[in-house]
Amino acid sequence: MEYASNILGTIGNTPLVRINRITSDLPCLVLAKYETFNPGNSVKDRMALKMVEDAEADGLLSPGGTIVEGTSGNTGMGLALAAIVRGYRMICVISDKQSREKIDILRAVGCEVHICPTDVAPEDPRSYYSTARRLAEEIPGAWYVNQYDNPGNTRAHYESTGPEIWQQTDGRVTHFVVGVGTGGTISGVGRYLKEQNPDIRIWGVDTYGSVFKKYHETGIFDPDEIYPYVTEGIGEDILPENVDFEIIDGFTKVTDRDAALYTRRLAREEGMFLGNSAGAAVKGVLQLAEHFGPEDVVVVLFHDHGSRYVNKIYNDQWMRDQGFLDPESGPPVKE
Protein backbone atom coordinates (compact mmCIF):
# COMPACT_ATOMS: atom_id res chain seq x y z
CA MET A 1 0.00 0.00 0.00
CA GLU A 2 1.14 3.53 -0.74
CA TYR A 3 0.26 6.28 1.70
CA ALA A 4 1.83 9.14 3.64
CA SER A 5 2.17 8.66 7.39
CA ASN A 6 0.76 12.18 7.89
CA ILE A 7 -0.08 15.23 5.80
CA LEU A 8 3.50 16.56 5.98
CA GLY A 9 4.60 13.61 3.87
CA THR A 10 2.75 15.05 0.89
CA ILE A 11 4.84 18.22 0.68
CA GLY A 12 6.87 18.65 -2.51
CA ASN A 13 7.11 16.82 -5.84
CA THR A 14 4.71 19.31 -7.43
CA PRO A 15 4.15 19.16 -11.20
CA LEU A 16 5.42 21.31 -14.05
CA VAL A 17 2.58 22.53 -16.28
CA ARG A 18 2.94 24.18 -19.67
CA ILE A 19 1.46 27.66 -20.09
CA ASN A 20 -0.07 27.87 -23.56
CA ARG A 21 -2.24 30.86 -24.42
CA ILE A 22 -0.92 33.75 -22.36
CA THR A 23 2.68 33.10 -23.42
CA SER A 24 1.90 32.09 -27.02
CA ASP A 25 3.81 35.06 -28.46
CA LEU A 26 7.03 34.07 -26.70
CA PRO A 27 9.58 32.00 -28.66
CA CYS A 28 10.33 29.69 -25.72
CA LEU A 29 8.66 26.91 -23.75
CA VAL A 30 7.17 28.31 -20.51
CA LEU A 31 6.49 25.86 -17.69
CA ALA A 32 4.81 26.63 -14.37
CA LYS A 33 6.11 25.01 -11.18
CA TYR A 34 2.65 24.53 -9.73
CA GLU A 35 3.05 24.81 -5.97
CA THR A 36 -0.64 24.77 -5.07
CA PHE A 37 -0.39 20.96 -5.11
CA ASN A 38 1.28 21.15 -1.70
CA PRO A 39 -1.14 20.27 1.14
CA GLY A 40 -1.33 23.86 2.38
CA ASN A 41 -1.79 25.02 -1.22
CA SER A 42 1.42 27.01 -1.39
CA VAL A 43 5.17 26.83 -1.89
CA LYS A 44 5.61 27.93 1.73
CA ASP A 45 4.81 24.45 3.03
CA ARG A 46 8.32 23.39 2.01
CA MET A 47 10.24 25.91 4.05
CA ALA A 48 7.78 25.91 6.95
CA LEU A 49 8.42 22.24 7.61
CA LYS A 50 12.18 22.65 7.14
CA MET A 51 12.38 25.51 9.63
CA VAL A 52 10.35 23.59 12.22
CA GLU A 53 12.59 20.53 11.82
CA ASP A 54 15.69 22.71 12.19
CA ALA A 55 14.29 24.38 15.32
CA GLU A 56 13.54 20.98 16.87
CA ALA A 57 17.04 19.73 16.07
CA ASP A 58 18.60 22.89 17.54
CA GLY A 59 16.52 22.71 20.73
CA LEU A 60 14.68 25.95 19.96
CA LEU A 61 11.31 24.22 19.85
CA SER A 62 10.30 21.69 22.50
CA PRO A 63 7.18 19.53 22.95
CA GLY A 64 4.19 21.68 23.84
CA GLY A 65 5.96 24.84 22.66
CA THR A 66 4.58 27.78 20.73
CA ILE A 67 5.43 28.83 17.18
CA VAL A 68 5.16 32.56 16.46
CA GLU A 69 5.52 34.08 13.01
CA GLY A 70 4.72 37.21 11.05
CA THR A 71 3.21 36.05 7.77
CA SER A 72 1.24 37.15 4.73
CA GLY A 73 -0.75 33.94 5.26
CA ASN A 74 0.94 31.14 3.35
CA THR A 75 3.90 30.55 5.64
CA GLY A 76 1.46 30.61 8.54
CA MET A 77 -0.57 27.87 6.88
CA GLY A 78 2.50 25.70 6.32
CA LEU A 79 3.62 26.21 9.91
CA ALA A 80 0.09 25.44 11.15
CA LEU A 81 0.15 22.04 9.42
CA ALA A 82 3.48 21.26 11.07
CA ALA A 83 2.17 22.51 14.43
CA ILE A 84 -0.91 20.27 14.23
CA VAL A 85 1.09 17.15 13.44
CA ARG A 86 3.89 17.91 15.90
CA GLY A 87 1.69 19.22 18.72
CA TYR A 88 2.54 22.92 18.98
CA ARG A 89 0.53 26.05 19.61
CA MET A 90 0.56 28.36 16.55
CA ILE A 91 0.35 32.16 16.60
CA CYS A 92 0.26 34.08 13.32
CA VAL A 93 0.77 37.82 13.05
CA ILE A 94 -0.61 39.18 9.78
CA SER A 95 -0.99 42.62 8.19
CA ASP A 96 -4.41 44.08 7.52
CA LYS A 97 -3.88 44.21 3.75
CA GLN A 98 -4.07 40.43 3.46
CA SER A 99 -7.22 38.81 2.16
CA ARG A 100 -10.05 37.85 4.53
CA GLU A 101 -9.79 34.30 3.25
CA LYS A 102 -6.20 33.96 4.49
CA ILE A 103 -7.19 35.07 7.98
CA ASP A 104 -10.19 32.74 8.08
CA ILE A 105 -8.15 29.79 6.80
CA LEU A 106 -5.49 30.30 9.45
CA ARG A 107 -8.13 30.33 12.16
CA ALA A 108 -9.78 27.26 10.63
CA VAL A 109 -6.58 25.25 11.20
CA GLY A 110 -6.29 26.38 14.80
CA CYS A 111 -4.04 29.43 14.59
CA GLU A 112 -4.34 32.40 16.90
CA VAL A 113 -4.28 35.38 14.54
CA HIS A 114 -3.13 38.90 15.41
CA ILE A 115 -3.84 41.57 12.78
CA CYS A 116 -1.52 44.59 12.47
CA PRO A 117 -1.60 47.77 10.35
CA THR A 118 0.21 47.63 7.02
CA ASP A 119 1.10 51.27 6.59
CA VAL A 120 3.68 51.56 9.38
CA ALA A 121 7.47 51.25 9.35
CA PRO A 122 8.95 47.80 10.11
CA GLU A 123 10.48 49.11 13.36
CA ASP A 124 7.14 50.54 14.52
CA PRO A 125 5.92 48.51 17.54
CA ARG A 126 2.55 48.08 15.77
CA SER A 127 4.08 46.44 12.69
CA TYR A 128 3.69 42.73 12.18
CA TYR A 129 7.46 42.29 12.35
CA SER A 130 7.68 43.97 15.77
CA THR A 131 4.52 42.36 17.10
CA ALA A 132 5.70 38.85 16.26
CA ARG A 133 9.06 39.44 17.97
CA ARG A 134 7.35 40.86 21.06
CA LEU A 135 4.95 37.93 21.39
CA ALA A 136 7.78 35.44 21.06
CA GLU A 137 9.68 37.21 23.83
CA GLU A 138 6.65 37.39 26.13
CA ILE A 139 5.38 33.81 25.78
CA PRO A 140 7.31 31.13 27.68
CA GLY A 141 8.62 28.40 25.41
CA ALA A 142 7.89 30.37 22.24
CA TRP A 143 10.01 30.22 19.10
CA TYR A 144 10.03 33.13 16.64
CA VAL A 145 10.43 31.67 13.15
CA ASN A 146 11.64 34.80 11.31
CA GLN A 147 11.27 33.43 7.78
CA TYR A 148 13.02 36.51 6.38
CA ASP A 149 16.37 35.71 7.96
CA ASN A 150 16.02 32.02 8.83
CA PRO A 151 18.48 30.05 6.63
CA GLY A 152 16.16 27.04 6.65
CA ASN A 153 13.92 28.99 4.28
CA THR A 154 16.55 29.06 1.53
CA ARG A 155 17.86 25.60 2.37
CA ALA A 156 14.41 24.03 1.86
CA HIS A 157 14.34 25.19 -1.75
CA TYR A 158 17.97 24.27 -2.36
CA GLU A 159 17.22 20.75 -1.16
CA SER A 160 13.79 20.21 -2.77
CA THR A 161 12.40 22.77 -5.24
CA GLY A 162 15.63 23.30 -7.16
CA PRO A 163 16.40 19.60 -7.65
CA GLU A 164 12.81 18.92 -8.70
CA ILE A 165 12.96 21.60 -11.42
CA TRP A 166 16.31 20.29 -12.66
CA GLN A 167 15.06 16.71 -12.81
CA GLN A 168 11.65 17.55 -14.31
CA THR A 169 13.23 19.55 -17.15
CA ASP A 170 15.94 16.92 -17.68
CA GLY A 171 18.47 19.67 -17.04
CA ARG A 172 17.16 21.80 -19.92
CA VAL A 173 15.88 24.71 -17.83
CA THR A 174 17.51 27.97 -18.99
CA HIS A 175 15.63 30.60 -16.96
CA PHE A 176 13.90 30.62 -13.58
CA VAL A 177 11.41 33.41 -12.84
CA VAL A 178 9.72 33.93 -9.48
CA GLY A 179 8.16 36.64 -7.34
CA VAL A 180 10.44 37.66 -4.46
CA GLY A 181 9.29 38.25 -0.89
CA THR A 182 11.35 36.61 1.84
CA GLY A 183 13.87 35.52 -0.80
CA GLY A 184 14.11 31.88 0.18
CA THR A 185 12.63 30.46 -3.02
CA ILE A 186 14.68 32.46 -5.51
CA SER A 187 17.90 32.09 -3.52
CA GLY A 188 17.60 28.36 -2.82
CA VAL A 189 16.40 27.36 -6.28
CA GLY A 190 18.79 29.79 -7.94
CA ARG A 191 21.83 28.53 -6.08
CA TYR A 192 21.02 24.90 -6.85
CA LEU A 193 20.35 25.52 -10.53
CA LYS A 194 23.47 27.62 -11.03
CA GLU A 195 25.56 24.88 -9.43
CA GLN A 196 24.25 22.52 -12.11
CA ASN A 197 24.63 25.04 -14.94
CA PRO A 198 26.10 28.52 -14.31
CA ASP A 199 24.47 29.81 -17.51
CA ILE A 200 20.94 29.50 -16.10
CA ARG A 201 19.46 32.97 -15.60
CA ILE A 202 17.59 33.76 -12.38
CA TRP A 203 15.01 36.55 -12.56
CA GLY A 204 13.05 38.05 -9.68
CA VAL A 205 9.64 39.66 -10.02
CA ASP A 206 9.23 42.72 -7.81
CA THR A 207 6.33 45.10 -7.25
CA TYR A 208 6.12 48.88 -7.24
CA GLY A 209 6.45 50.00 -3.61
CA SER A 210 9.25 47.50 -2.93
CA VAL A 211 12.99 48.06 -2.65
CA PHE A 212 14.44 44.96 -4.35
CA LYS A 213 14.95 46.06 -7.95
CA LYS A 214 16.70 49.34 -7.22
CA TYR A 215 18.85 47.80 -4.49
CA HIS A 216 19.97 45.01 -6.84
CA GLU A 217 20.89 47.50 -9.56
CA THR A 218 22.50 50.22 -7.45
CA GLY A 219 23.28 48.82 -4.00
CA ILE A 220 21.19 51.65 -2.56
CA PHE A 221 18.36 51.04 -0.11
CA ASP A 222 16.05 53.88 -1.12
CA PRO A 223 13.22 54.71 1.32
CA ASP A 224 11.55 56.70 -1.46
CA GLU A 225 10.88 53.38 -3.23
CA ILE A 226 8.64 52.29 -0.34
CA TYR A 227 4.91 52.94 -0.47
CA PRO A 228 1.76 50.84 0.04
CA TYR A 229 0.85 48.36 -2.68
CA VAL A 230 -1.92 45.84 -3.18
CA THR A 231 -0.12 42.77 -4.55
CA GLU A 232 0.26 40.14 -1.83
CA GLY A 233 3.20 37.87 -1.14
CA ILE A 234 5.97 39.65 -3.05
CA GLY A 235 8.07 42.77 -2.48
CA GLU A 236 9.43 44.12 0.79
CA ASP A 237 10.30 47.32 2.61
CA ILE A 238 13.27 45.55 4.21
CA LEU A 239 16.22 43.51 2.92
CA PRO A 240 15.76 39.95 4.23
CA GLU A 241 18.94 37.96 4.75
CA ASN A 242 17.43 35.21 2.61
CA VAL A 243 17.56 37.37 -0.51
CA ASP A 244 20.92 36.45 -2.09
CA PHE A 245 21.39 39.28 -4.58
CA GLU A 246 24.53 37.63 -5.97
CA ILE A 247 22.45 34.69 -7.22
CA ILE A 248 19.84 36.90 -8.92
CA ASP A 249 20.59 38.12 -12.45
CA GLY A 250 17.93 40.82 -12.48
CA PHE A 251 14.51 42.03 -11.42
CA THR A 252 11.46 43.23 -13.31
CA LYS A 253 8.68 45.20 -11.61
CA VAL A 254 4.99 44.52 -12.20
CA THR A 255 2.17 46.91 -11.32
CA ASP A 256 -0.67 46.01 -8.96
CA ARG A 257 -3.11 46.34 -11.85
CA ASP A 258 -1.20 44.00 -14.14
CA ALA A 259 -0.74 41.45 -11.35
CA ALA A 260 -4.49 41.41 -10.73
CA LEU A 261 -5.49 41.26 -14.39
CA TYR A 262 -3.05 38.51 -15.28
CA THR A 263 -4.12 36.46 -12.25
CA ARG A 264 -7.64 36.52 -13.67
CA ARG A 265 -6.34 35.71 -17.15
CA LEU A 266 -4.55 32.63 -15.83
CA ALA A 267 -7.84 31.37 -14.45
CA ARG A 268 -9.91 32.11 -17.54
CA GLU A 269 -7.39 31.29 -20.28
CA GLU A 270 -5.26 28.53 -18.75
CA GLY A 271 -7.61 27.02 -16.15
CA MET A 272 -5.07 27.94 -13.47
CA PHE A 273 -6.88 29.21 -10.37
CA LEU A 274 -4.05 30.93 -8.56
CA GLY A 275 -3.12 33.68 -6.14
CA ASN A 276 -2.23 37.28 -6.79
CA SER A 277 1.53 36.75 -7.13
CA ALA A 278 1.01 34.30 -10.03
CA GLY A 279 -0.35 37.10 -12.18
CA ALA A 280 2.68 39.21 -11.30
CA ALA A 281 4.99 36.31 -12.13
CA VAL A 282 3.53 35.53 -15.54
CA LYS A 283 3.41 39.23 -16.46
CA GLY A 284 7.06 39.38 -15.40
CA VAL A 285 7.84 36.57 -17.84
CA LEU A 286 6.16 38.53 -20.65
CA GLN A 287 8.15 41.65 -19.73
CA LEU A 288 11.38 39.64 -20.01
CA ALA A 289 10.54 38.39 -23.52
CA GLU A 290 13.67 39.91 -25.08
CA HIS A 291 15.85 37.58 -22.98
CA PHE A 292 14.33 34.35 -24.33
CA GLY A 293 15.13 32.36 -27.47
CA PRO A 294 13.52 29.42 -29.30
CA GLU A 295 15.61 26.81 -27.49
CA ASP A 296 14.97 28.19 -24.02
CA VAL A 297 12.97 26.51 -21.26
CA VAL A 298 11.58 29.08 -18.83
CA VAL A 299 10.26 27.87 -15.47
CA VAL A 300 8.03 30.29 -13.56
CA LEU A 301 6.94 29.39 -10.04
CA PHE A 302 3.34 29.96 -8.96
CA HIS A 303 3.12 30.36 -5.20
CA ASP A 304 -0.44 29.79 -4.01
CA HIS A 305 -4.09 29.08 -4.70
CA GLY A 306 -6.91 31.33 -5.88
CA SER A 307 -9.21 30.32 -3.03
CA ARG A 308 -7.34 32.82 -0.84
CA TYR A 309 -8.32 35.76 -3.07
CA VAL A 310 -11.97 35.14 -3.95
CA ASN A 311 -13.16 38.37 -2.34
CA LYS A 312 -10.34 40.42 -3.84
CA ILE A 313 -8.80 39.54 -7.22
CA TYR A 314 -11.78 37.39 -8.25
CA ASN A 315 -14.39 39.85 -7.00
CA ASP A 316 -15.55 42.27 -9.70
CA GLN A 317 -16.60 44.98 -7.25
CA TRP A 318 -13.23 44.90 -5.46
CA MET A 319 -11.49 45.11 -8.85
CA ARG A 320 -13.64 48.11 -9.81
CA ASP A 321 -12.95 49.80 -6.48
CA GLN A 322 -9.22 49.47 -7.19
CA GLY A 323 -9.66 50.80 -10.72
CA PHE A 324 -8.37 47.54 -12.19
CA LEU A 325 -11.38 46.23 -14.08
CA ASP A 326 -11.45 47.04 -17.80
CA PRO A 327 -12.13 45.11 -21.03
CA GLU A 328 -8.75 43.36 -20.83
CA SER A 329 -9.86 41.49 -17.73
CA GLY A 330 -12.70 39.79 -19.55
CA PRO A 331 -16.46 39.88 -18.94
CA PRO A 332 -17.75 40.39 -15.41
CA VAL A 333 -18.79 37.37 -13.41
CA LYS A 334 -22.53 36.74 -13.71
CA GLU A 335 -24.44 36.68 -10.45
Is the confidence at residue 333, as pLDDT, over 70?
no
Which has more pLDDT, 131 or 128?
131
Pairwise CA distance, residues 166 & 17, whole Å:
14
DSSP state letter for 118? S
The pLDDT, as a whole number, for residue 335 is 34
Q: What is the mean pLDDT of residues 326-330?
A: 54
Q: Are strands 112-116 and 201-207 parallel, antiparallel or unpaired?
A: unpaired
The pLDDT, as a whole number, for residue 326 is 67
Is the confidence at residue 258, as pLDDT, over 80?
yes
Pairwise CA distance, residues 94 & 73, whole Å:
7
Q: What is the mean pLDDT of residues 8-15?
A: 98
Note if 312 is an active site residue: no
CA-wise closest residue to 55 among 141, 122, 118? 141
Q: Which of 44, 102, 213, 312 is catalytic?
A: 44
Q: What is the mean pLDDT of residues 116-143?
A: 90
CA-wise closest residue to 231 among 295, 303, 134? 303
The pLDDT, as a whole number, for residue 297 is 98
Pairwise CA distance, residues 168 & 190, whole Å:
16
pTM value?
0.93
Residue 256 makes CB contacts below 8 A (sequence gap 6+) with 207, 208, 229, 230, 231, 322, 324
Structural domains in the chain, CATH included, are 7-38+157-320 (3.40.50.1100), 44-144 (3.40.50.1100)
Is the confidence at residue 329, as pLDDT, over 50?
no
Q: What is the mean pLDDT of residues 30-55?
A: 98
Pairwise CA distance, residues 105 & 306, whole Å:
13
Is the confidence at residue 332, as pLDDT, over 90?
no
The pLDDT, as a whole number, for residue 256 is 97
Q: What is the pLDDT of residues 309-325, one digit of tens each?
A: 999 999 999 999 999 98
Residue 144 — left, alpha, or beta (φ > 0 → left; ψ -120 to 50 → alpha)?
beta
Q: What is the pLDDT of residues 73-103, one digit of tens each?
A: 899 999 999 999 999 999 999 988 888 888 9
Residue 16 makes CB contacts below 8 A (sequence gap 6+) with 31, 32, 33, 34, 165, 168, 169, 299
Q: What is the mean pLDDT of residues 292-297?
A: 98
* CA atoms in the 13 A half-sphere facing the CB of 310: 8
Angle at 44 between CA 42 and CA 46, to 5 degrees: 105
Q: What is the pLDDT of residues 153-201, one digit of tens each?
A: 999 999 999 999 999 999 999 999 999 999 999 999 999 999 999 999 9
